[in-house]
Chains A and B, each alone.
Chain A
């Protein structure tokens, strides 16, 4: 026996469908608004049996999504939804909605997408017209109250998505009064609640809004005739929407005139050389005047310069290729009369962005050990063996890479010039790269840690770990042991700093 049911919205469908399931009426036996639900493709045989209310349970996600699909205009949507409900509630087909290859699910997804798109297009293509508001204009306003502006739109969606889109307009235009009129459902907002009414005809819509003139001017001017692409435009803004878009009446005129306009542009070029030559006062100079293209040039040009002049000379250093991928040169920083100079390896991601040494995670660790042993960052000079960040990209992130011997060598004239001008009593080499750059020979932190015996230099040298080495250590025990050594080395530094 066939059951005939008539529904008009999801709220009506839901209890009716639940009742049918409880009675055990299979999809093939229901006619929704005159459409037969058809048999299940998989030939699922289900006994007709009454199930108790508590067992009509389906995933909540299904109901939420079904509410959207229910807005689809196709006449057989109710039967599609009932078929899926049946398969979920009675057939207990777990994970049904994950099977995009299932005939019903595939159709469900297609309609869901169509409704989502239609709802999205409604948020895009509704055009309000401003109307007078007798309610606030004619009556005396309360002291301090602002008149609410009123707007009306006419819109014709293919699927009835007015309820789905209403919340968007409420959240955006909460402080205005507005109505959106459509042939099936209208929605109104007065600042307090959304009200839905029956559809109306187009005559209810006011005739004009002076702002549309400006909108059309904007639309025509933002179009680039050299790139005419009507197919792309129609894919995103199909013709059926055009009749309610004020700007759409310009489309054919703009498209037809585009060939002549772009041809004219191609043929007409100009340049008034006199105006090119005069560079106005506020205009910056864009030329990149490389200061040093090789380590030899660095040595030559650094000669006799004080530390600040060195710093600005180094800004545009191109002595090695590392400058090509780094943001900026990260030069040393600290008082020019510092007794201690700390030399690290190279700037990292943060240092590269800020242009200052030791401001990233390694710098923070260094700061905390400084305060532990009583060193003050403001009294020491901090710099790096290599002044540009060397990195490789991995998944849109920058991963640190060790500088090569050649790169350390290319940057060494800068470091030696810094050491010469600061003329410290002690140089602390953080890591092997710093040790190599200061000493001019390979060193091993593991075997040479501590005070280095290297007579003939105007300063003493302490070699210790780079703080980022500590951050990379895997186990807690390893890290604690290394940190203890590091603290011990910096305590020695502190001792030398204060007593000489």
Chain B
């Protein structure tokens, strides 16, 4: 099979993984280096966008789409009739370098179907990364998918060559996995994440505890373990798990394994789809709501129970989760933008981190009016029902939940999600 055909099959097979980030971790440069190529700046770059609106940052491909697993939601499961292909190590290496030198990509995101067994497969992924780093001096970004059942030695080596490692949990519960992914096991997956967190912290500790010049020189030569951390993905809408189950799992994974990101991927119909799965358009709004909720958990100081109270199983699809919280807690408002704390202002529907920080800076120089907010480009239309300024006091009627709900369900602006972050 020619290289172009392989690329088509193995890129197509890899596209259901939502991870795209090329950010985080260390900064590297090729300046002053005699050979090799590449750099990482710490913040990622999206080199293109596909008509599905998703960014193209890395060459995202599978090493092979042959697989001994049989996960119903996956186009590559062994019972699917999809055409199969495999790269060689050299082919992946030269495609990565050729694309990189033309500034098409930030680096490589390599995953694979499981062939023969976990170690056999993992060893091939590691070999690609090792060849890029050692034989070609590649300093761009590498993200390797790791297989929970692979031996710890291979994971350790993977972490030395890769910027980021990821293990996909895919579904939030063991019951879900048993139904749809009979070879996967939640305890093993989390054990693998624990192992990666442990290795990464050891590597960071060695750097921190280097006190003498000699120790510092020694650790500077060492490669740090997965400097951009680890991430995972959960598929939304393939099994019956509700949003609370999904977010509870995400919250647990963030706390327990220090994940940089949890990606939510709406189950999307695939060619050769399994009869066990919903044949319908992907739940994209739900996916977006989950990302918004995830952001609230991580950057806005919300607790899981505030976002999805135990009485609710799912997020509101009509309004974003922050607005939904505000409607459930009208007594929290209105807030005085000239006095309220950062934590409180972050809870105002429409206010993002940047707006709140601008308010805090500017109000040191004088009381703020609605015009001031507008000049700061705060999304005033949405926020005014919830805040007071020197010249604006919303009436109690303004905070009536049913009135607000109908107002907020109008054409909503998308919450700003910096998908590069983390």
Contacts and interface: CB of A to CB of B under 8 A. Distances in A.
A283 interface: yes
Contacts of A95: 364-365
B81 A226 contact: no
Nearest to A146: B35
B216 interface: no
Given A101-B376, A211-B99, A270-B272, A124 B51 contact: no
B33 A175 contact: yes
B11 A221 contact: yes
Interface stretch (B161-169, B185-193, B393-401, B403-411): B185-193
Contacts of B38: 172
A215 B47 contact: no
A265 B187 contact: no
B95 to A, nearest CB: 7
Given A175-B34, A221-B12, A214 B50 contact: no
B interface, size bucket: 35 or more
Contacts of B186: 288
B7 A218 contact: yes
B261 to A, nearest CB: 13
Contact of B269 (A172, A209, A226): A226
Contacts of A226: 268-269, 281-282
Interface string B1-30: 001100111011011100000000000011
Given A101-B375, A128-B101, A276-B79, 18 more contacts: A100-B358, A127-B104, A171-B30, A172-B29, A174-B33, A211-B98, A215-B104, A217-B11, A218-B11, A222-B11, A223-B50, A223-B51, A224-B52, A255-B51, A258-B51, A264-B271, A271-B274, A273-B79
Interface string A246-275: 010001001100100010111111111101
Given A98-B361, A280-B78, A236 B55 contact: yes
A231 B275 CA distance: 32
Interface in B97-125: 98-99, 101-104, 114, 116-118, 120
B17 to A, nearest CB: 10
B52 A265 contact: no
Contacts of B81: 270, 272
Given A223-B50, A353-B194, A99 B361 contact: yes
A398 B79 contact: no
Contacts of B373: 101
B214 interface: no
A137 interface: no
B69 A218 contact: no
Nearest to B14: A222
Contact of A99 (B11, B276, B365): B365
B254 interface: yes
Interface of A: 95, 98-103, 106, 110, 120, 123-130, 146, 149, 151, 153, 168-176, 209, 211, 213-215, 217-233, 236-237, 245, 247, 251, 254-255, 258, 262, 264-273, 275-276, 279-288, 316, 325, 327-328, 352-355, 391, 393, 396-398
B102 to A, nearest CB: 5
Contacts of B56: 219, 222
B29 A171 contact: yes
Given A222-B14, A353-B194, A237 B48 contact: yes
B177 interface: yes
A171 B49 CA distance: 24
Given A124-B47, A286-B184, A101 B368 contact: yes
B157 interface: no
Interface of B: 3-4, 7-9, 11-12, 14-16, 29-39, 41, 45-56, 59-60, 68-70, 78-81, 95, 98-99, 101-104, 114, 116-118, 120, 149, 174, 177-178, 181-188, 190-191, 194-195, 197-198, 251-252, 254-256, 258, 266, 268-277, 279-282, 284, 298, 304, 358, 361-362, 364-365, 368, 371-373, 375-377
A100 B362 contact: yes
A489 to B, nearest CB: 31
B252 A325 contact: yes
Given A221-B15, A284-B183, A327 B273 contact: no
Contact of A265 (B31, B252, B269): B269
A101 B372 contact: yes
Contacts of B174: 288
B51 A230 contact: yes
Contacts of B50: 219, 222-224, 233, 254
A105 B31 CA distance: 36
Contacts of A265: 269-271, 273, 279
10 contacts: A173-B37, A174-B31, A176-B101, A217-B4, A219-B48, A219-B50, A283-B183, A285-B185, A286-B185, A327-B187
A237 B49 contact: yes
Given A101-B368, A127-B102, A171 B39 contact: yes
Contacts of B364: 95, 98
Please list the 9 inter-chain residue pairs (A to B) with the smallest Cβ-Cβ separation, ordered nearest first. Answer: A232-B53, A282-B117, A229-B53, A101-B372, A221-B11, A223-B50, A174-B30, A227-B52, A171-B29
B90 to A, nearest CB: 15
B281 A266 contact: yes
Nearest to B414: A232
Nearest to B11: A221
A224 B15 contact: yes
A215 B98 CA distance: 10
Nearest to A251: B51
A172 B376 contact: no
A223 B15 contact: yes
